[in-house]
Structure 1
Amino acid sequence: MNKKILDIALPNIISNITIPLLGIVDLALMGHLGEVDFIGGIALGGTIFNFLYWGFAFLRMGTSGITAQAYGARKLNESILSLGRALLVAAAGSILILLLQKPIALLSFNYIDSEASVETIARSYYNIRIWAAPATISLYALTGWFIGMQNSKIPMTIAIICNIINISLSAFFVYGLNLDARGVALGTVIAQYCGLILASFFIWRYYRRLFKYWTNRGLLKIAELKHFVLINKDIFIRTLCIIFVFTFFTTESASSNKTILAVNSLLLQFLFIFSYLMDGFAYAAEALVGRFVGAQNRKNLLTTIRYLFIWGIGISLGFTLIYALAGNSILSMLTNNSETIHAASPYLKWLILLPILSFASFLYDGIYIGATASVYMRKTMMAATLLVFIPVYFGLKDILLNHGLWIAMLAFMLSRGLFQAFYFKKAILIKFK
């Protein structure tokens, strides 16, 4: 079972690590331009796209769970039709975003309270990166489908190549053409379309035989469309809660001052590094749990979950040690601004606690997605957001200021895992007849 987990997890870990690496490089490019405004501008622009694109993350999660269960049950027609339904939603969402890009910008920058110099940089970043929407959203669907088909090597290859292109182009545009934040955005747009082309090539190369099971009637089958929509509706609401928490985190940081915004933007990279690594095992959970639920193999399901948590405990302890010993060194790699590094140091203690308090939430996400237990995903995430994150923050903010914001984030991550553990039998084991 360990081999099955690692065969899926390791390629996803490699591809996922490139995602925070890209964010780190973007911040480092801005952090070495000498002005803290550039870090804040990228952070605010990134927050808007997190809100937009994370809202479509349900396509990756819903598609992987549905596809994995079809794979386990050997329903090859549903395997390929699940991709078609996801791409239909991706196309509709992309068109909507591009048509509404100006109202989205107006609403976003009116909502986010930041200094004028930071907002100007964020706007220039937004106006370019928005054109990556069709590629970015389609890649969510394609990645979920590959994972559901038990193939994590293709998403790994796409992620590595795209991020190499992205980093190389961004560095060239920033330092070679002096495009500052606009260069980072342009590098992202080009790289995302390269990823879409690669994904299309891999489907044609390795899966074109499945298209003999494709029918337009099957694609638009009411019962299956309803099932797809209901699962993704709950995942969408669950994702909106995450978007709310991270958007709220950034906007509260921005409302303090630009130094706190820069500090929290840099420190969030510690969370993202850990989360993307843990997501490698969460993706393994999606694929294997979905497969064993589809095949009605309860024994292998429970064995998989046990091994996943053993890996989770070990990795979280390792990251705790790394952050405790090398936190300031990591900060120094992100920026050479001594004032920002000094301001960030008091908050490193919360990052040390983060891995051990949050690892279960990532693993349970993968388990629930694989089992398509979307109703309970929604319930637990709403509880963690509304009953934990918000009350903790508003209870502590006047006393502990930015420390209260970090404590609220830790409480949110911990409570997610606890709520999901509580509902495990009702949400997961009920799938077995």
Structure 2
Amino acid sequence: MSPINRQILHIAIPSIISNITVPLLGLVDVTIVGHLGSASYIGAIAVGGMLFNMIYWIFGFLRMGTGGLTAQAYGQHNTQEGTRILLRSLSVSLLLAQVLLVLQYPIRLIAFMLIDASPEVQELATRYFHICIWGAPATLGLYSFTGWFIGMQNSRYPMYIAITQNIVNIAASLFFVFVLHMKVEGVALGTLIAQYAGVIMAYLLCISHYHPFRQQVRRMQLFERNAMKRFFLVNRDIFLRTLCLVAVTVFFTSTGATYGDVVLAVNTLLMQLFTLFSYIMDGFAYAGEALSGKYTGSNDKIRLHQTVRNLFGWGSAMALLFTLTYLWGGQNFLQLLTNDTEVIAASGTYLLWTVAIPFCGFSAFILDGICIGTTSTRIMLKSMATASTLFFGVYFLCSGSWGNHALWMAFLVYLAVRGLMQGYLLRNKI
């Protein structure tokens, strides 16, 4: 195996494991309240979890922007700037967390105006929300640490942290719910404790492994004007790009609901196939982010191009593997998720759209990582904005005659255009 491929797998495999553990935090919460004897508890956790996913998803730029800038500093062997990037990112994450805490009541009120839930579910979800919101400093701070570790070519620490969070969440939630009989509040406290356990572990790993770096930072240089301007420009582009992504995702779900409960269930289940693929491809995207940033920082064009080629080789292999798996076993996979015969039968009509997802989407994931690593975030934004516009255009043009098929076709166009446009615009950049 070539050195470049070894480096790719060294970062990608732990990142994939970390990604797979992410949904386990929510799954554990749902499983625990599922044994409390009322569907309203499950609904409250589902609503609360969805709300926090949307909030924190928007702030994902903290991880991505920090990772790309840190990888370039790493490639330049500039440990001082690498440390300053972490401290800047942590400062911004804590500031944003304070804003969320101050605005928690209006955020909750606006959210429940948009979410159609029963009064009982709203009451329970409100209790869950007002406990978990205090985890904002830990969650956003962990975004900064995770991005920094990846930029430092270290994806093992985020994996260790993710596994630890799940263990703490399970233990704490079980204790609060089944020993102290706290119900939804106990699940929320378990999640909160797991979030702080994660960020404390990140801090301890950072100061133990990278301790000498702290001595190289001068406070006057930390918020130097040009460095802060670059930091905010990179993160602004990623933030706006994320808003486009959220708009497409929310529209896909809400529009699917207009075609009835069966179609909504089918779309939800089939999107799990996309989500599973995205967990794998995000691992290679993180590798692209770390390695392309490193070689951009060291101005090593040869290895940068080798990295891009090899990443596309891995992406193509994963796309082929998932395409064949979904083609031959997609229906069986859906039967593991539900025993509703009507939903399973209806899913066959749309399954071929999801079979096409891997080859339509793999380049978008790979090039997202490369854009972040090379800090070509404006290219990411332009590509996402164009792809999102085409998504809505294709759907509204074809929905009259194609219905839900138009929604899936628009989604595939959106994935493909992201990758094609990023590749075209990056040609002269790298």
TM more than 0.5: yes
**2:427 match:** 425
Give how far 1:212 is off: 0.8
Pair 1:206–1:50, CA change in 2 (3 A): same
Pair 1:376–1:66, CA change in 2 (3 A): same
Pair 1:389–1:104, CA change in 2 (3 A): same
Pair 1:221–1:202, CA change in 2 (3 A): same
Worse-superposed segment, 296-305 or 162-171: 162-171
Answering whether residue 369 of structure 2 is matched by residue 395 of structure 1, we say no
Pair 1:194–1:203, CA change in 2 (3 A): same
Contact 1:28 1:335 in 2 (8 A): no
Output the aligned Cα RMSD: 3.0
Question: How do 1:200-211 and structure 2 match up within 5 A?
Answer: 200-211=203-214
Give how far 1:240 is off: 1.2
**1:363 match:** 366
Unpaired runs of 5+ residues, structure 1, are none
Give how far 1:415 is off: 1.3
Contact 2:70 2:148 in 1 (8 A): yes
Which amino acid is the alignment partner of residue 406 of structure 2?
G
**1:105 match:** 108
* Counterpart pick for 1:192 among 192, 195, 211: 195
Unpaired runs of 5+ residues, structure 2, are none
- The superposition leaves residues 80-104 of structure 1 with CA deviations (integer Å, 9 ceiling, x where unpaired) of 0000000011001111111111211
Contact 1:354 1:410 in 2 (8 A): yes
Counterpart Cα distance in 2 of 1:378 and 1:280: 21
Pair 1:397–1:42, CA change in 2 (3 A): farther
Greater RCO structure (CA 8 Å; 6+ sep): 1
**2:156 match:** 153
**1:65 match:** 68
**1:411 match:** 413
Counterpart Cα distance in 2 of 1:375 and 1:267: 31
Counterpart Cα distance in 2 of 1:381 and 1:174: 43
Worse-superposed segment, 304-313 or 323-332: 323-332
Contact 2:379 2:426 in 1 (8 A): no
Worse-superposed segment, 266-275 or 191-200: 266-275
**1:7 match:** 10
Give how far 1:324 is off: 2.6
Number of equivalent positions: 427
Give how far 1:412 is off: 1.4
Give how far 1:330 is off: 3.0
Give how far 1:189 is off: 2.4
Give how far 1:234 is off: 0.8
Which amino acid is the alignment partner of residue 394 of structure 1?
F
Which amino acid is the alignment partner of residue 236 of structure 2?
K
Give how far 1:12 is off: 1.0
Worse-superposed segment, 2-11 or 306-315: 2-11
Pair 1:125–1:115, CA change in 2 (3 A): same
* Counterpart pick for 1:52 among 50, 55, 60: 55
Contact 2:26 2:49 in 1 (8 A): no
Give how far 1:43 is off: 5.1
Contact 1:364 1:420 in 2 (8 A): yes
Could you tell me the TM-score, scaled by structure 2's length?
0.89
Which amino acid is the alignment partner of residue 285 of structure 2?
A
Contact 1:169 1:187 in 2 (8 A): yes
* Counterpart pick for 1:240 among 231, 235, 243: 243
* Counterpart pick for 2:282 among 270, 274, 279: 279
Pair 1:210–1:369, CA change in 2 (3 A): same
Could you tell me the TM-score, scaled by structure 1's length?
0.88
Counterpart Cα distance in 2 of 1:123 and 1:345: 38
Which amino acid is the alignment partner of residue 354 of structure 1?
I
Worse-superposed segment, 103-112 or 53-62: 103-112
**2:93 match:** 90
Pair 1:168–1:257, CA change in 2 (3 A): farther
